[in-house]
Amino acid sequence: MNELWKQVNSNIPEILQTYKKIAVVGLSPKPWRASHSVAAYLQDAGYAIFPVNPGHDQILGQKCYKSLSEIPQTIEIVDIFRRSELVLPIVQEAITVGAKVVWMQSGIINEQAAKLAIEAGLEVVMDACMKIEHAYLE
């Protein structure tokens, strides 16, 4: 296991218990999509969800934003549902807006983005499902 993987995914329980404001990048309005079911689950669990999808005005009853920088409040977790090769600019924006955590969902791995986030002081979760991890804690 390389040094990076020792730093990611190490504080999942604390992250889920501490932070409650989640920007969901790539949230789909389609109920059968993973991003939709995960965000709906988190919303039902008491988290504040901020959809980030430039193609929609509203998802899950919440206003949609075109980017993280448009969200008018502090975001704690940036939950990413985008292909691995598209993650780096999202992480750069997460750093800029002062997020505390970058969470790359199951199947999403971008070591360059993870290193950048860690160097900027953010916690990183990579290749893990927020819904599954939360349900495991319950």
Q: What are residue 52's DSSP bridge partners?
A: 25, 65
Establish if 127 belongs to a structural domain: yes
| pTM higher than the cut 0.75 | yes
Q: What are residue 51's DSSP bridge partners?
A: 24
Establish if 8 belongs to a structural domain: no
Integer Cα distance of 119 and 98 in angstroms? 13
Both tokens of 19, joined, read 């932070």
Establish if 59 belongs to a structural domain: yes
Q: Locate tokens 């993280």: which residue?
A: 68
Statement: residue 51 has pLDDT above 80: yes
The tally of domains found in the chain comes to: 1
Of 37, 69, 64, the residue nearest 53 (C-alpha): 64
Q: Locate tokens 């499902």: which residue?
A: 129
pLDDT computed for residue 3 by the predictor: 77
Domain holding 79: CATH number? 3.40.50.720
Establish if 13 belongs to a structural domain: no
Q: How many CB atoms lie within 10 A of CB 67?
A: 14
Establish if 5 belongs to a structural domain: no
Establish if 14 belongs to a structural domain: no
pLDDT computed for residue 16 by the predictor: 97
pLDDT computed for residue 5 by the predictor: 74
Q: Is 102:117 a contact under the CB 8 Å cutoff? A: yes
Establish if 12 belongs to a structural domain: no
Statement: residue 113 has pLDDT above 60: yes
Integer Cα distance of 138 and 120 in angstroms? 31
pLDDT computed for residue 8 by the predictor: 86
How much is the average pLDDT of 41-69?
97
Establish if 10 belongs to a structural domain: no
Structural domain range at position 115 = 19-137
Q: Is 137:13 a contact under the CB 8 Å cutoff? A: yes
